[in-house]
Amino acid sequence: MIETTDPATGKPLERFALMRAQQIEAKLEAAARCVPRWSRAPFEERAALLREVASRLRAQRDSLAEIAVREMGKPILQARAEVEKCAWGLDYFAEHGAAMLAALPAPSSAARSYVAFRPLGVILAIMPWNFPYWQVVRAAAPALMAGNTMLLKHAANTTRCALELERIFNEAGAPAGLFGALIARGEAIDELVADARIAAVTLTGSERAGAAVARAAGEALKKCVLELGGSDPFVVLADADVQAAATTAVTARFQNNGESCIAAKRFIVEAGAYDEFSSRFVALAGAQIVGDPMEERVQLGPCAREDLRQGVHEQVAATLAAGARLVLGGRPLERAGFFYEPTIVANVEPGMRMFDEEVFGPAAAVVRATDREHALALANASPFGLGSSVWTRDVTAAEAFASRVEAGAVFINGMVASDPRLPFGGVKRSGYGRELSAFGIHEFVNIQTVWIADPPA
């Protein structure tokens, strides 16, 4: 049995029975049976389905957003924006997917040769709770447009979100088995990955989960894409527009209650801008409205679970004990639910937990850099390499700086965000493979060489 909890109150929401082995088998078989039909469906049919799903998401935006808020605690305005983003992503791949999947001429010794992009089959998607709709849709939209089917193993605490997505696909007219949700424990994943009907796996989650899935996929010789943790550097150089950087920094760190893999987490500031940035950052972060995430005025809701709040608090406390300085917050709030104060810790250095680890919650580490080279070294001094931001008025120099940053994305004078038009993914312990854009749609296809000789005379 799975029981979900409202993180704003700590009270139970719903109970869901785990699927029995026969039910999981039925889902697997339905997904496999759908592959021949969907893989042969013309692009126009695939696109029409994605557009219909997008339309239904927009029509049901408010009710879907409320479910996400109740299950994982994000502020309601941000939840609505997430549903809208899902609709945009579906429409984007409906419009551009056919062109991304068109055969590419590849001249060779043949009379004619080209590269074609064929579907793989059933994709197993293992998804997290923090963006319970968008994480799923950004994997599903390109995979389904490419002619694959998908089974979703969602995080337990967002089970209702998973079932709502399945319902919407079904009501949009998806063929039986095209998109299905599994209600199962994590222990079932190895067996699912090993099943011959699963062609490939995509996972967004923790390092630990990624390593386990990669191990299982490797043993089964199956493709996998992993989008894992991040400890993104937000680098503010001395010549930056400090006001703009500090304003964006608050959103970059505290959006989604700070529970985002691409949230800025380490604020690395060159000495010439350190004091001004820190002062502005603290003032703006401290002005955020914390409270019931169902209220539109609220900017920061609770952590999604009590253990997550406790983990953030332990990282903050350990960093302070190592010599850093608390400049804002630093405590769980004494109220119902899993709330934590917006927190900023200054004078953080390598070797402290808030520098070395991913902090998944509303706490920021501010790090002083002596100069640009030191800032670059600090940015790269992490086992993670997902996203990064660089703030400076010298864009040419910033591009040279960006070329040396060890991350899957570098945003210059902007906040890291996923965008269906751009590839998304990381390096180092942030995983491998890409989602979104043409690069993402090509992850789960058979890139097939076709070589044709002239027939004998």
* 118 has pLDDT over 80: yes
Region 226-244 average pLDDT:
98
> What is the structure's pLDDT at 456?
85
> Degrees (nearest 5) of the Cα angle 396, 402, 403?
100
Predicted confidence (pLDDT) at residue 457 exceeds the cutoff of 90: no
Closest CA to 39 of 173, 180, 146: 146
| Mean pLDDT estimate for the chain | 97
Average pLDDT score over residue span 59-83: 98
- The whole-number average pLDDT for the span 141-151 is 98
What integer pLDDT is reported at residue 275 of this predicted model?
98
Q: What is the average pLDDT across 122-133?
A: 98
pLDDT on residue 124:
98
CA–CA gap between residue 378 and residue 363 (Å, rounded):
19
pLDDT digits (tens, 9 = 90+) for 169-216: 999 999 999 999 999 988 889 999 999 999 999 999 999 999 999 999
Tell me the domains of the chain and their CATH numbers: 2-228+430-452 (3.40.605.10), 232-412 (3.40.309.10)
CB 433 within 8 A of CB 90: no
Tens of pLDDT, residue by residue over 387-440, are: 999 999 999 999 999 999 999 999 999 999 999 999 999 999 999 999 999 999
Give backbone dihedrals phi and psi of 147, rounded to 5 degrees, phi first: 100, 10
Residues 6+ apart with CB under 8 A from 287: none
261 is catalytic: yes
For residue 316, what are its two tokens? 């903050």
316-343 pLDDT tens trace: 999 999 999 999 999 999 999 999 999 9
Tell me, what's the pLDDT at 396? 96
Going edge to edge, which strands form the sheet with 343-346? 325-328, 343-346, 363-369, 264-270, 232-236, 389-391, 411-412
Q: Supply 256's token pair.
A: 């989604």
Active site residue 303: no
Place of tokens 């949700």: 181
121 vs 199: CA distance, rounded Å: 6
* Whole-number CA gyration radius for the chain: 23
Q: Catalytic residue among 34, 86, 161, 261, which?
A: 261
Catalytic residue among 82, 227, 341, 406: 227
* Predicted local confidence at residue 187, as pLDDT: 85
Structure tokens at 382: 């992490």
Cα 246 to Cα 150: distance, rounded to the nearest angstrom = 41
Q: What percent of the chain has pLDDT over 70?
A: 100
